[in-house]
Amino acid sequence: YLESARKSSTKTQLQNLRQIIMLYKNDTGRYPETLSDLKKSGILKKDLPKDGWDHSFVYHPTPDAKNPYELFS
């Protein structure tokens, strides 16, 4: 049960971060260079979320790739 709750929490946090990243892009016209940019800009009011195992999410801009960034736990 605990493992399932951790996975579910992580999926929810990833979805929330994707939405916040899009808000950042809509406001600034670009994707953030780091997740910390979300907090510095004021778009993210709280501390950066962690995954279900209390680890930081990994974010990498990939401007030349099919997707503009990678985000994972």
The pLDDT tens digits for 7-60 are 999 999 999 999 999 999 999 999 999 999 999 999 999 999 999 999 999 999
pLDDT at 63: 84
pLDDT at 29: 95
pLDDT at 65: 83
Residue type, 2: L
Structure-model confidence comparison of residues 17 and 64, the more confident one = 17
